[in-house]
Amino acid sequence: MQIDAISPVINSFRMKPLSTPIFMLPNGVNEFDLINVEGIYYFAYDDHETTQLASSTTLAGLENAPRTTPRPAGHYPSILFDGTSWHLWVWEETCSNHYVADSFNGIYVFHDALPAGYTDLHVRRLSNGIYYAAYKDNTTLPSRVGVMTARDPGGPWLNLGLCFSELGQSAVHSAEEADPAIFDADGQFFLVFSGFDGINQRVLISQIDGDTGKAITPPMTVANPPAGQTKVFNGVYLREDGQPDRIYVAENTTLPNIPGGWEYVEAGTAPEDAYRPEDVARVTFDTVTPVDISNGVPVSLSGNATPTANGLVFSASNEGAFGIASSSNLNDFGVVVEFTIGDLPANGNFALITRISTRNSATQPIIGLWLTATGQLYCEIKKAGNSGPLTGYWNINLQTGQRYGVSLHRIGTAVTGQVNAQTYFTGTFEGPLEGLEEWTLGNQAGRFTNPSQPFTGTIHRFAAVSGPLFASDA
Protein backbone atom coordinates (compact mmCIF):
# COMPACT_ATOMS: atom_id res chain seq x y z
CA MET A 1 0.00 0.00 0.00
CA GLN A 2 1.44 3.36 -1.03
CA ILE A 3 1.18 6.08 1.61
CA ASP A 4 1.21 9.52 0.03
CA ALA A 5 0.92 11.54 3.23
CA ILE A 6 1.42 11.03 6.93
CA SER A 7 -1.74 10.19 8.88
CA PRO A 8 -3.23 13.21 10.68
CA VAL A 9 -3.33 11.08 13.83
CA ILE A 10 0.41 10.37 13.68
CA ASN A 11 1.11 13.96 12.69
CA SER A 12 -0.77 15.19 15.75
CA PHE A 13 1.70 13.34 18.01
CA ARG A 14 4.80 14.17 16.02
CA MET A 15 7.42 16.40 17.75
CA LYS A 16 5.31 16.79 20.89
CA PRO A 17 6.91 16.99 24.35
CA LEU A 18 6.75 14.34 27.03
CA SER A 19 4.74 15.55 30.02
CA THR A 20 6.04 15.70 33.55
CA PRO A 21 5.13 12.52 35.47
CA ILE A 22 1.51 12.26 36.58
CA PHE A 23 2.92 10.40 39.57
CA MET A 24 5.93 8.34 40.65
CA LEU A 25 5.67 4.86 42.18
CA PRO A 26 8.30 3.20 44.39
CA ASN A 27 8.90 0.29 42.00
CA GLY A 28 7.91 2.24 38.93
CA VAL A 29 5.28 1.35 36.35
CA ASN A 30 6.98 -1.49 34.56
CA GLU A 31 4.24 -2.25 32.02
CA PHE A 32 0.60 -1.22 32.14
CA ASP A 33 -2.80 -0.84 30.52
CA LEU A 34 -5.35 1.97 30.90
CA ILE A 35 -8.99 2.34 29.87
CA ASN A 36 -11.81 4.72 30.74
CA VAL A 37 -15.31 3.33 31.21
CA GLU A 38 -18.11 5.79 31.98
CA GLY A 39 -15.78 8.36 33.51
CA ILE A 40 -13.71 5.99 35.60
CA TYR A 41 -10.07 5.23 34.85
CA TYR A 42 -9.10 1.59 35.21
CA PHE A 43 -5.39 0.95 35.56
CA ALA A 44 -3.51 -2.35 35.50
CA TYR A 45 0.23 -2.29 35.97
CA ASP A 46 3.22 -4.47 36.67
CA ASP A 47 5.37 -3.18 39.56
CA HIS A 48 8.21 -5.66 38.81
CA GLU A 49 6.80 -8.08 41.40
CA THR A 50 3.18 -8.64 40.40
CA THR A 51 0.24 -7.09 38.54
CA GLN A 52 -1.88 -4.63 40.48
CA LEU A 53 -5.28 -3.12 39.67
CA ALA A 54 -6.51 0.35 40.64
CA SER A 55 -9.38 2.63 39.61
CA SER A 56 -10.18 6.32 40.11
CA THR A 57 -12.24 9.13 38.66
CA THR A 58 -8.99 11.04 38.00
CA LEU A 59 -5.62 10.05 36.63
CA ALA A 60 -3.78 11.54 39.60
CA GLY A 61 -6.06 9.61 41.91
CA LEU A 62 -4.65 6.34 40.59
CA GLU A 63 -1.46 6.96 42.56
CA ASN A 64 -3.04 6.32 45.97
CA ALA A 65 -6.16 4.38 44.97
CA PRO A 66 -6.67 0.99 46.69
CA ARG A 67 -4.90 -1.91 44.99
CA THR A 68 -5.93 -5.47 44.30
CA THR A 69 -3.67 -8.25 43.09
CA PRO A 70 -5.67 -10.51 40.77
CA ARG A 71 -2.85 -12.93 39.91
CA PRO A 72 0.20 -12.88 42.21
CA ALA A 73 2.48 -14.34 39.51
CA GLY A 74 1.01 -12.25 36.70
CA HIS A 75 2.95 -9.66 34.70
CA TYR A 76 2.52 -7.41 31.63
CA PRO A 77 -1.28 -6.94 32.00
CA SER A 78 -3.95 -6.00 29.48
CA ILE A 79 -7.53 -5.22 30.55
CA LEU A 80 -10.82 -5.09 28.64
CA PHE A 81 -14.48 -4.55 29.54
CA ASP A 82 -16.90 -6.02 27.01
CA GLY A 83 -20.01 -4.38 28.47
CA THR A 84 -20.75 -7.29 30.78
CA SER A 85 -17.53 -8.97 31.90
CA TRP A 86 -13.99 -7.88 32.71
CA HIS A 87 -11.09 -9.54 30.95
CA LEU A 88 -7.50 -9.69 32.13
CA TRP A 89 -4.50 -11.07 30.26
CA VAL A 90 -1.27 -11.59 32.20
CA TRP A 91 2.02 -13.32 31.48
CA GLU A 92 2.58 -16.31 33.75
CA GLU A 93 5.80 -18.30 33.33
CA THR A 94 5.59 -19.34 29.66
CA CYS A 95 2.47 -17.80 28.13
CA SER A 96 -0.21 -15.12 28.41
CA ASN A 97 -3.27 -16.42 30.25
CA HIS A 98 -6.76 -14.99 29.91
CA TYR A 99 -8.97 -14.54 33.00
CA VAL A 100 -12.58 -13.29 33.32
CA ALA A 101 -14.42 -11.62 36.21
CA ASP A 102 -17.80 -10.04 36.91
CA SER A 103 -16.19 -6.86 38.28
CA PHE A 104 -12.88 -5.06 37.85
CA ASN A 105 -11.69 -6.05 41.32
CA GLY A 106 -13.57 -9.32 41.36
CA ILE A 107 -12.20 -12.83 41.38
CA TYR A 108 -10.67 -13.59 37.97
CA VAL A 109 -11.32 -17.11 36.68
CA PHE A 110 -9.08 -18.78 34.11
CA HIS A 111 -10.59 -18.89 30.63
CA ASP A 112 -7.90 -19.78 28.09
CA ALA A 113 -4.18 -19.60 27.32
CA LEU A 114 -2.58 -17.96 24.30
CA PRO A 115 0.34 -19.45 22.36
CA ALA A 116 3.54 -19.99 24.34
CA GLY A 117 6.11 -17.27 23.91
CA TYR A 118 3.61 -14.50 23.09
CA THR A 119 4.02 -11.86 25.78
CA ASP A 120 3.29 -8.12 26.27
CA LEU A 121 -0.27 -8.79 25.15
CA HIS A 122 -2.61 -5.85 24.48
CA VAL A 123 -6.23 -6.54 23.53
CA ARG A 124 -8.81 -4.13 22.13
CA ARG A 125 -12.14 -4.38 20.32
CA LEU A 126 -11.87 -1.94 17.43
CA SER A 127 -14.51 -0.11 15.44
CA ASN A 128 -14.91 -2.96 12.92
CA GLY A 129 -16.19 -5.20 15.75
CA ILE A 130 -13.09 -7.40 15.69
CA TYR A 131 -10.87 -8.06 18.69
CA TYR A 132 -7.17 -7.45 18.11
CA ALA A 133 -4.40 -8.84 20.29
CA ALA A 134 -1.01 -7.23 19.74
CA TYR A 135 1.87 -9.30 21.10
CA LYS A 136 5.63 -9.57 21.40
CA ASP A 137 6.98 -12.82 20.00
CA ASN A 138 9.66 -13.98 22.44
CA THR A 139 10.50 -16.94 20.22
CA THR A 140 12.22 -14.65 17.71
CA LEU A 141 15.63 -13.12 18.26
CA PRO A 142 15.50 -10.19 18.46
CA SER A 143 11.89 -10.05 19.61
CA ARG A 144 9.30 -8.78 17.14
CA VAL A 145 5.70 -7.59 17.50
CA GLY A 146 2.68 -9.11 15.78
CA VAL A 147 -1.12 -9.11 15.73
CA MET A 148 -3.86 -11.71 16.17
CA THR A 149 -7.61 -11.25 15.58
CA ALA A 150 -10.76 -12.91 16.89
CA ARG A 151 -14.52 -12.46 16.93
CA ASP A 152 -14.62 -13.08 20.68
CA PRO A 153 -12.14 -12.10 23.43
CA GLY A 154 -11.86 -15.78 24.29
CA GLY A 155 -10.75 -16.67 20.78
CA PRO A 156 -10.12 -18.62 18.69
CA TRP A 157 -7.35 -16.27 17.56
CA LEU A 158 -6.12 -15.95 13.99
CA ASN A 159 -2.44 -15.01 13.92
CA LEU A 160 -1.77 -12.39 11.23
CA GLY A 161 1.97 -12.64 11.88
CA LEU A 162 4.65 -10.07 12.55
CA CYS A 163 3.75 -6.46 11.82
CA PHE A 164 7.00 -5.49 10.08
CA SER A 165 7.57 -8.71 8.13
CA GLU A 166 6.90 -6.90 4.83
CA LEU A 167 7.99 -3.33 5.50
CA GLY A 168 11.16 -4.39 7.33
CA GLN A 169 12.89 -2.95 10.38
CA SER A 170 14.62 0.41 10.31
CA ALA A 171 17.50 0.93 12.73
CA VAL A 172 15.26 2.66 15.27
CA HIS A 173 13.66 -0.71 16.12
CA SER A 174 16.18 -3.17 14.72
CA ALA A 175 17.48 -4.42 18.10
CA GLU A 176 14.06 -5.13 19.65
CA GLU A 177 10.33 -4.55 19.36
CA ALA A 178 8.19 -4.81 22.50
CA ASP A 179 5.10 -3.55 24.37
CA PRO A 180 2.75 -3.28 21.37
CA ALA A 181 -0.63 -1.59 21.72
CA ILE A 182 -3.20 -1.39 18.95
CA PHE A 183 -5.94 1.18 18.34
CA ASP A 184 -7.99 2.78 15.58
CA ALA A 185 -8.95 6.41 15.15
CA ASP A 186 -10.66 8.35 12.38
CA GLY A 187 -10.99 5.24 10.21
CA GLN A 188 -7.30 4.25 10.38
CA PHE A 189 -5.48 1.56 12.38
CA PHE A 190 -2.29 2.09 14.36
CA LEU A 191 0.31 0.25 16.38
CA VAL A 192 2.21 1.88 19.24
CA PHE A 193 5.25 -0.07 20.43
CA SER A 194 8.66 0.19 22.07
CA GLY A 195 11.60 0.20 19.69
CA PHE A 196 15.21 -0.43 20.76
CA ASP A 197 18.07 0.69 18.50
CA GLY A 198 20.81 -0.97 20.52
CA ILE A 199 21.36 2.05 22.78
CA ASN A 200 18.02 3.76 23.46
CA GLN A 201 14.44 2.54 23.76
CA ARG A 202 11.65 4.89 22.72
CA VAL A 203 7.92 4.75 22.00
CA LEU A 204 7.04 4.59 18.29
CA ILE A 205 3.88 4.62 16.20
CA SER A 206 3.12 3.15 12.77
CA GLN A 207 -0.02 2.98 10.70
CA ILE A 208 -1.08 -0.60 10.00
CA ASP A 209 -3.47 -2.35 7.65
CA GLY A 210 -6.50 -3.39 9.70
CA ASP A 211 -7.07 -6.48 7.57
CA THR A 212 -3.52 -7.83 7.46
CA GLY A 213 -1.99 -6.38 10.61
CA LYS A 214 1.03 -5.27 8.58
CA ALA A 215 2.75 -1.93 9.08
CA ILE A 216 2.32 0.39 6.12
CA THR A 217 4.38 3.34 7.39
CA PRO A 218 7.84 3.46 8.97
CA PRO A 219 7.75 4.15 12.72
CA MET A 220 7.58 7.71 13.97
CA THR A 221 8.77 8.57 17.48
CA VAL A 222 6.09 9.46 20.01
CA ALA A 223 8.35 9.71 23.06
CA ASN A 224 12.13 9.87 23.43
CA PRO A 225 13.86 9.00 26.72
CA PRO A 226 14.07 11.97 29.09
CA ALA A 227 17.45 13.65 29.47
CA GLY A 228 19.96 11.43 31.20
CA GLN A 229 17.96 8.25 30.62
CA THR A 230 17.93 5.61 27.92
CA LYS A 231 14.44 4.17 28.17
CA VAL A 232 10.79 5.12 27.76
CA PHE A 233 8.31 2.38 26.84
CA ASN A 234 4.83 0.79 26.78
CA GLY A 235 2.72 3.40 24.97
CA VAL A 236 -1.09 3.12 25.39
CA TYR A 237 -3.46 5.34 23.41
CA LEU A 238 -6.56 6.87 24.99
CA ARG A 239 -9.23 9.05 23.38
CA GLU A 240 -11.76 10.82 25.60
CA ASP A 241 -14.65 13.08 24.64
CA GLY A 242 -13.70 16.74 24.70
CA GLN A 243 -10.04 15.99 25.49
CA PRO A 244 -6.92 15.86 23.30
CA ASP A 245 -5.82 12.34 22.42
CA ARG A 246 -3.00 11.02 24.58
CA ILE A 247 -0.46 8.23 24.48
CA TYR A 248 0.55 7.24 28.01
CA VAL A 249 4.04 5.85 28.58
CA ALA A 250 6.16 4.37 31.37
CA GLU A 251 9.54 5.82 32.24
CA ASN A 252 11.77 4.01 34.72
CA THR A 253 14.69 1.63 34.93
CA THR A 254 14.28 -2.11 34.51
CA LEU A 255 15.29 -2.69 38.15
CA PRO A 256 12.99 -3.10 41.18
CA ASN A 257 12.97 -0.62 44.07
CA ILE A 258 13.77 2.28 41.73
CA PRO A 259 11.10 5.02 41.61
CA GLY A 260 9.67 5.46 38.14
CA GLY A 261 7.24 7.80 36.48
CA TRP A 262 4.10 7.49 34.43
CA GLU A 263 3.39 10.24 31.92
CA TYR A 264 1.98 11.00 28.48
CA VAL A 265 2.35 12.70 25.13
CA GLU A 266 -0.64 14.80 24.14
CA ALA A 267 -1.80 15.28 20.56
CA GLY A 268 -1.81 18.81 19.20
CA THR A 269 -1.44 20.89 16.08
CA ALA A 270 0.65 19.20 13.41
CA PRO A 271 4.11 20.77 13.05
CA GLU A 272 4.71 22.98 10.03
CA ASP A 273 7.85 21.49 8.56
CA ALA A 274 9.05 19.75 5.42
CA TYR A 275 8.44 16.17 6.54
CA ARG A 276 7.45 13.61 3.88
CA PRO A 277 6.81 9.85 4.26
CA GLU A 278 9.70 9.15 1.86
CA ASP A 279 12.26 10.79 4.15
CA VAL A 280 15.26 8.77 5.28
CA ALA A 281 16.64 11.78 7.16
CA ARG A 282 15.70 15.47 7.29
CA VAL A 283 17.47 17.89 9.58
CA THR A 284 17.93 21.61 9.90
CA PHE A 285 20.36 22.92 12.47
CA ASP A 286 18.81 26.27 13.39
CA THR A 287 17.46 25.09 16.75
CA VAL A 288 19.16 24.55 20.10
CA THR A 289 18.30 20.82 19.98
CA PRO A 290 18.20 19.63 16.37
CA VAL A 291 15.79 16.78 15.60
CA ASP A 292 15.67 14.49 12.59
CA ILE A 293 12.04 15.03 11.59
CA SER A 294 12.03 11.84 9.48
CA ASN A 295 11.61 9.80 12.69
CA GLY A 296 11.43 12.34 15.51
CA VAL A 297 14.76 11.31 17.06
CA PRO A 298 17.02 14.07 18.47
CA VAL A 299 20.30 14.50 16.61
CA SER A 300 23.42 13.37 18.48
CA LEU A 301 26.19 15.97 18.45
CA SER A 302 29.85 15.21 19.07
CA GLY A 303 32.73 17.38 20.20
CA ASN A 304 32.02 21.10 20.07
CA ALA A 305 29.75 21.02 17.02
CA THR A 306 27.43 23.96 17.68
CA PRO A 307 23.91 24.54 16.33
CA THR A 308 23.37 28.18 15.37
CA ALA A 309 20.75 30.17 13.49
CA ASN A 310 22.89 29.69 10.37
CA GLY A 311 23.54 25.94 10.75
CA LEU A 312 25.78 23.44 12.51
CA VAL A 313 29.27 24.88 12.97
CA PHE A 314 32.38 22.66 12.90
CA SER A 315 35.56 24.35 14.08
CA ALA A 316 37.89 21.41 14.81
CA SER A 317 38.33 17.67 14.41
CA ASN A 318 36.16 15.09 16.15
CA GLU A 319 33.08 17.25 15.73
CA GLY A 320 29.96 16.14 13.94
CA ALA A 321 26.39 14.93 14.10
CA PHE A 322 24.68 11.60 13.58
CA GLY A 323 21.25 10.04 13.69
CA ILE A 324 19.22 6.95 12.83
CA ALA A 325 18.32 6.20 9.22
CA SER A 326 14.54 5.90 8.87
CA SER A 327 14.81 3.38 6.02
CA SER A 328 17.21 0.45 6.02
CA ASN A 329 16.84 -0.51 2.35
CA LEU A 330 17.05 1.88 -0.59
CA ASN A 331 16.74 1.60 -4.34
CA ASP A 332 16.21 5.05 -5.84
CA PHE A 333 17.46 7.70 -3.44
CA GLY A 334 18.47 11.31 -3.11
CA VAL A 335 20.83 13.00 -0.67
CA VAL A 336 21.22 16.77 -0.34
CA VAL A 337 23.53 18.71 1.94
CA GLU A 338 24.04 22.46 2.02
CA PHE A 339 27.30 23.72 3.51
CA THR A 340 29.96 26.41 3.66
CA ILE A 341 33.63 25.35 3.80
CA GLY A 342 35.81 26.86 6.51
CA ASP A 343 39.17 25.30 5.66
CA LEU A 344 40.17 22.63 3.17
CA PRO A 345 41.80 19.48 4.57
CA ALA A 346 45.56 19.01 4.38
CA ASN A 347 47.18 17.45 1.29
CA GLY A 348 46.33 13.81 0.88
CA ASN A 349 43.44 13.96 3.35
CA PHE A 350 39.68 13.71 2.97
CA ALA A 351 37.11 15.49 5.13
CA LEU A 352 33.83 13.66 5.60
CA ILE A 353 30.81 15.75 4.65
CA THR A 354 28.10 13.09 4.97
CA ARG A 355 27.47 9.40 4.76
CA ILE A 356 24.58 6.97 5.25
CA SER A 357 25.80 3.54 6.26
CA THR A 358 25.82 0.80 8.86
CA ARG A 359 27.39 1.52 12.23
CA ASN A 360 30.99 1.59 11.10
CA SER A 361 31.25 -1.92 9.65
CA ALA A 362 34.20 -2.61 7.36
CA THR A 363 31.89 -4.21 4.80
CA GLN A 364 29.11 -1.69 5.06
CA PRO A 365 26.64 -0.47 2.51
CA ILE A 366 27.32 3.21 2.17
CA ILE A 367 26.39 6.43 0.44
CA GLY A 368 29.24 8.82 1.19
CA LEU A 369 30.55 12.23 0.20
CA TRP A 370 33.97 13.68 1.09
CA LEU A 371 35.93 16.88 0.43
CA THR A 372 39.55 16.74 -0.80
CA ALA A 373 42.48 19.10 -0.20
CA THR A 374 41.92 20.72 -3.60
CA GLY A 375 38.21 21.30 -3.01
CA GLN A 376 37.10 18.36 -5.14
CA LEU A 377 34.18 16.22 -4.02
CA TYR A 378 34.61 12.45 -3.84
CA CYS A 379 31.71 10.01 -3.50
CA GLU A 380 31.26 6.31 -2.79
CA ILE A 381 28.18 4.11 -3.15
CA LYS A 382 28.62 0.50 -2.05
CA LYS A 383 26.41 -2.46 -1.24
CA ALA A 384 26.95 -4.75 1.74
CA GLY A 385 30.28 -6.50 1.46
CA ASN A 386 31.60 -3.57 -0.60
CA SER A 387 30.21 -5.22 -3.73
CA GLY A 388 29.43 -3.35 -6.93
CA PRO A 389 30.94 -0.03 -5.81
CA LEU A 390 30.61 3.27 -7.58
CA THR A 391 33.33 5.74 -6.64
CA GLY A 392 34.62 8.87 -8.23
CA TYR A 393 35.89 12.44 -8.06
CA TRP A 394 33.62 15.25 -9.19
CA ASN A 395 34.75 17.68 -11.85
CA ILE A 396 34.68 20.78 -9.67
CA ASN A 397 36.87 22.55 -7.11
CA LEU A 398 34.96 24.19 -4.27
CA GLN A 399 36.23 27.31 -2.51
CA THR A 400 36.37 28.23 1.15
CA GLY A 401 33.85 30.75 2.40
CA GLN A 402 31.30 29.84 -0.30
CA ARG A 403 27.91 28.27 0.34
CA TYR A 404 27.07 25.23 -1.80
CA GLY A 405 24.04 23.01 -2.27
CA VAL A 406 25.24 19.51 -3.19
CA SER A 407 23.03 16.58 -4.19
CA LEU A 408 23.70 12.95 -5.02
CA HIS A 409 20.85 10.88 -6.38
CA ARG A 410 20.05 7.64 -8.17
CA ILE A 411 17.08 6.92 -10.43
CA GLY A 412 17.09 3.38 -11.79
CA THR A 413 20.79 2.73 -12.28
CA ALA A 414 21.73 6.31 -13.20
CA VAL A 415 23.63 8.26 -10.54
CA THR A 416 24.04 12.03 -10.74
CA GLY A 417 25.99 14.42 -8.57
CA GLN A 418 25.19 18.13 -8.68
CA VAL A 419 26.50 21.32 -7.12
CA ASN A 420 24.14 24.30 -7.13
CA ALA A 421 21.91 22.40 -9.59
CA GLN A 422 24.76 21.87 -12.11
CA THR A 423 25.91 18.30 -12.90
CA TYR A 424 29.54 17.46 -12.10
CA PHE A 425 29.40 13.67 -11.70
CA THR A 426 27.58 10.78 -13.41
CA GLY A 427 27.80 7.01 -13.10
CA THR A 428 25.79 3.81 -12.79
CA PHE A 429 24.99 1.64 -9.80
CA GLU A 430 22.89 -1.54 -9.78
CA GLY A 431 21.00 -3.29 -7.03
CA PRO A 432 19.54 -2.23 -3.67
CA LEU A 433 21.39 -0.81 -0.70
CA GLU A 434 20.38 -2.99 2.24
CA GLY A 435 21.16 -2.77 5.95
CA LEU A 436 21.56 1.01 6.29
CA GLU A 437 21.41 2.10 9.92
CA GLU A 438 22.55 5.66 10.42
CA TRP A 439 23.49 8.95 8.84
CA THR A 440 26.42 11.10 9.88
CA LEU A 441 27.75 14.57 9.13
CA GLY A 442 31.22 15.99 9.70
CA ASN A 443 33.96 14.11 11.43
CA GLN A 444 32.04 11.78 13.70
CA ALA A 445 31.63 8.42 12.00
CA GLY A 446 28.44 7.42 13.72
CA ARG A 447 28.22 5.79 17.13
CA PHE A 448 31.89 4.89 17.24
CA THR A 449 34.78 7.32 17.66
CA ASN A 450 36.47 7.04 14.31
CA PRO A 451 36.99 10.56 12.97
CA SER A 452 38.02 11.32 9.43
CA GLN A 453 40.27 14.28 8.72
CA PRO A 454 38.83 17.53 10.06
CA PHE A 455 35.98 19.19 8.22
CA THR A 456 35.61 22.80 9.24
CA GLY A 457 32.77 25.07 8.24
CA THR A 458 28.99 25.07 8.56
CA ILE A 459 26.36 22.54 7.47
CA HIS A 460 23.12 24.42 6.94
CA ARG A 461 20.75 21.54 6.16
CA PHE A 462 20.73 17.84 5.36
CA ALA A 463 18.11 15.53 3.88
CA ALA A 464 17.94 12.07 2.34
CA VAL A 465 14.91 10.51 0.69
CA SER A 466 13.85 7.16 -0.67
CA GLY A 467 13.09 7.92 -4.31
CA PRO A 468 13.74 11.06 -6.32
CA LEU A 469 14.68 14.29 -4.60
CA PHE A 470 11.87 16.80 -4.24
CA ALA A 471 12.02 20.08 -6.10
CA SER A 472 12.27 21.92 -2.77
CA ASP A 473 15.43 19.94 -1.94
CA ALA A 474 17.34 21.05 -5.02
pLDDT of residue 241 exceeding 80: yes
Looking at the domain assignment, is residue 271 inside a domain? no
CATH code, 450:
2.60.120.200
Looking at the domain assignment, is residue 272 inside a domain? no
What average pLDDT is seen over the chain?
91
Residue 234 buriedness (CB in 10 A; 0-12 / 13-18 / 19+): buried
DSSP tag of 9: H
Give the count of alpha carbons within 13 A of 208, CB side only. Answer: 30
> What's the whole-number mean pLDDT along residues 401-420?
96
DSSP tag of 10: H
Looking at residue 303, its pLDDT comes to: 83
User: 3-class DSSP state for residue 288?
Assistant: coil
Percent of the chain, pLDDT > 70? 94
Residue 317 buriedness (CB in 10 A; 0-12 / 13-18 / 19+): middle
Looking at the domain assignment, is residue 274 inside a domain? no
pLDDT of residue 252 exceeding 80: no
Q: Alpha-carbon Rg of the chain, whole angstroms?
A: 24
From the list 382, 404, 403, the residue with the least C-alpha distance to 391 is 382
CATH code, 136:
2.115.10.20
Shared domain check, 227 and 331 = no
Looking at the domain assignment, is residue 3 inside a domain? no
DSSP state letters, 433-454 = EE---EEEEET--TTS----BP
* Overall domain count for the chain: 2
Of 234, 266, 298, the residue that ends a domain is: 266
List all residues 6 or more positions away from 196 whose beta carbon is below 8 Å from its beta carbon: 142, 173, 175, 176, 177, 178
Of 215, 239, 266, the residue that ends a domain is: 266
- The C-alpha atoms of residue 425 and residue 395 are separated, in whole angstroms, by 7
Shared domain check, 214 and 259 = yes
Looking at the domain assignment, is residue 42 inside a domain? yes
Shared domain check, 232 and 343 = no
Model confidence at 350, pLDDT cuts 50, 70, 90, reads confident
Looking at the domain assignment, is residue 2 inside a domain? no
Q: Determine the residue type at 66.
A: P
Looking at the domain assignment, is residue 1 inside a domain? no
pLDDT (tens digit per residue) in 381-398:
999 877 779 999 999 999
Find the domain containing 221 and state its range.
8-266
pLDDT (tens digit per residue) in 190-240:
999 999 998 899 999 999 999 999 999 999 999 999 877 889 999 999 999
Q: Which of 56-65, 192-201, 274-283, 453-462 has the lowest mean pLDDT?
A: 453-462
CA angle 174, 77, 191 (to 5 degrees): 40
